[in-house]
């Protein structure tokens, strides 16, 4: 079931927004080359929030220990092999909606 993450006009290409949908932290990332995507907002390394991550329009880099993730796939490109969990995202009536499905916040990535 989709829930509202933010208004579309809050997003900027090459930037990200932090949003909470159904009590789960999300990174709404808009790559320089691509469409907005929704990733789980907790880093798979040590389960720290990605809310302070650096983003150059392509790579999301965790502020805690510098693991880096592709904003197009969520794949870890610096750190141990893993992938940020991605959630379906759609834009309707100028609202950004994310579907968390049956994701359990304390479950595996």
Give me the least distance between CB of 107 and ligand FES, in Å please. 17
- 65 in contact with ligand FES (CB under 6 A): yes
Report if residue 46 touches ligand FES, rule: CB under 6 A. yes
Instruction: Name the residue among 24, 27, 28 with its Cα closest to residue 91.
Output: 28
Task: Please say which residue, 21 or 50, places its beta carbon nearer to ligand FES.
Answer: 50
Which residue in the set 24, 38, 60, 62 belongs to the binding site for ligand FES (CB under 6 A)? 62
Write down the least CB distance from residue 29 to ligand FES, Å. 15
Nearer of residues 43 and 97 to ligand FES, judged by Cβ: 43
Nearest-angstrom CA–CA distance, 66 and 92: 34
67 near ligand FES, rule: CB under 6 A = yes
- Which residues 6+ apart lie within 8 Å of 87 measured at CB? 26, 38, 39, 40, 98, 99, 100, 101, 103
Q: How far, rounded to the nearest angstrom, does the alpha carbon of residue 43 sit from its chain's CA centroid?
A: 10
Residue 97's H or E segment, with its range, is strand 95-99
Q: Which residues bind ligand FES (CB under 6 A)?
A: 43, 45-46, 48, 62, 64-67
């Amino acid at each position: 079931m989709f829930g509202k993450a933010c208004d579309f006009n809050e997003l900027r290409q090459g930037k990200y927004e932090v949003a909470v949908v159904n009590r789960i932290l999300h990174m709404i990332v808009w790559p320089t080359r691509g469409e907005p995507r929704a990733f789980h907002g907790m880093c798979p390394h040590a389960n720290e929030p990605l809310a302070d991550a650096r983003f150059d329009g392509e790579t999301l880099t965790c502020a805690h220990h510098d693991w880096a993730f592709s904003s197009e796939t969520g794949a870890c490109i610096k750190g141990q092999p893993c992938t940020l969990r991605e959630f379906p995202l759609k834009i309707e009536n100028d609202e950004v909606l994310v579907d968390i499905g049956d994701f359990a916040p304390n479950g595996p990535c």
